Amino acid sequence: MTPPRTITVAFTGASGLPYGVRLVECLLQAGCRVWLLYSQVAQIVARQEMDWNLPARPAEVEAELSARFTAAPGQLRVFGREEWFAPPASGSNPPDAMVVCPCTVATLASIAGGLSQNLIERAADVVIKEGRKLVLVPRETPYSAIHLENMLKLARLGVCILPPNPGFYHHPQTVQDLVDFVVARILDQLGVPHSLMARWGEDREQAG
């Protein structure tokens, strides 16, 4: 499958930011163009989980991640929460797909309700209305009936609900192995080729 040309990725304040950062890295390595959005609470999670001071200014995040992942000029663009003139805010310039990773249940509820109170929610609303692929990676446990009803509502619209539940049949040895398992599943949903792990029935040499 041909990788989508443009993928919007959103970080929200749920636990699991290493999944989102690794996803951005893999998308850039695969040659995709990435539009990155992030919430204010994601900055707190970044410090807690990754000892990363995620800057408040999108331009600083763009420069830092572009350098870290050796992105081509213009390959990664980062937008602010209220940047309503950003490309993801309009159906006239939608991405090929969007991933909210990690996704808080509050963000999931807002998307299900079509609230569009910030750029993340609006971008997701655009992707749904334009019939593009939307993947939500909710990190919460246990799920309440409210959470499940919101997920069901979105799933019926064609949204992919992908909780970050790593498997163990590939005998993970490190935390990175567990992260890569989940990111591999997200990339599969996007149709982006990868060699993060062997597929079922293959050994790692065959997968690479």
DSSP character string of 95-137: -SEEEEEEE-HHHHHHHHHT---SHHHHHHHHHHHTT-EEEEE
Q: What percentage of the chain exceeds 90 in pLDDT?
A: 91
Q: Is 169 assigned a ligand-binding role in the annotation?
A: yes
Supply the pLDDT for residue 204.
53
**Is 74 marked as binding a ligand?**
no
- Share the mean pLDDT of the chain: 95
Q: What is the average per-residue pLDDT within 14-25?
A: 98
Kindly state the DSSP code that residue 197 receives in the 8-state scheme: S
Higher pLDDT, 2 or 130: 130
For 6-207, give the CATH class.
alpha beta
pLDDT tens for 87-146 read 999 999 999 999 999 999 999 999 999 999 999 999 999 999 999 999 999 999 999 999
- pLDDT(202) > 80: no
- The pTM (predicted TM-score) of the whole model is 0.94
**Residue 15 marked ligand-binding:** yes
**185 marked as binding residue:** yes
- The annotation status of 72 as a binding-site residue, yes or no, is no
